[in-house]
Amino acid sequence: MTQAADPNPAFDYRPPDLPLDIIHADDEIVVVNKPSGLLSVPGRGEHLSDCLMSRIKSAFPTALLVHRLDMDTSGVMVFALTPHAQRHLGLQFEKRQTKKTYVARVWGEMAEATGHVDLPLCVDWPNRPRQHVDRENGKPAQTDWRRVRIEDGTTRVRLMPKTGRSHQLRVHMKEIGHPILGDPFYAEGPARDFPRLMLHSESLKLRHPNGGAGMLFRAPAPF
């Protein structure tokens, strides 16, 4: 999922003061567990300069961006440490050869055990960075989901995006009547009244840029 920060210049950005949570590092890649509330890359303005990219570069000066997570989403992110690794990983994401799994808590009790959402998305220009379903102009977006368990009127689910549109999981869950808890853009009322967005990138499977061996990286959901 791609990053989108609040465009309001008065946006109160308070990134978490936490040390880097390194899952894996070698000569080509570094994999980290991003905390919720931290931008993946700098936003516009000095007050939005603190981000995971800058923190990674302080420890790994050659680090290069490969993909992003929304500011409010936590979990597994990979950075390249060489131009070769960046190209190799970038092609994997572009060709949808990586496999990503997210954990989320959503509003309401989902009746079905599994499901598939196929709704095209595009930016809602008057309300950007929000996205919305647009069957005429939207880009294809598909998400598979699997119910894990019911929790006090909410549902814990695993989400397997087949595409990587901005806010895809958040909009898809809202559109099927189960917004992700704590979502400041798409949840309303009691569904929004949670301390954070309950969305976490739990695992990422990719091929290593040096040799192509399959690797699986995981970070447990903190909620």
Active site residues: 70
DSSP string across 107-120: ES---SSEEEEE--
Tokens, residue 216: 């699986």
Helix (H, G, I), strand (E, B) or coil at 43: coil
Token output for 17: 């003061």
- How many angstroms separate the CA atoms of 154 and 91, rounded? 37
Query: CA-CA distance, 1 to 118, in Å (whole number)?
Result: 16
Give the residue from 111, 131, 107, 110 showing the smallest Cα distance to 121. 131
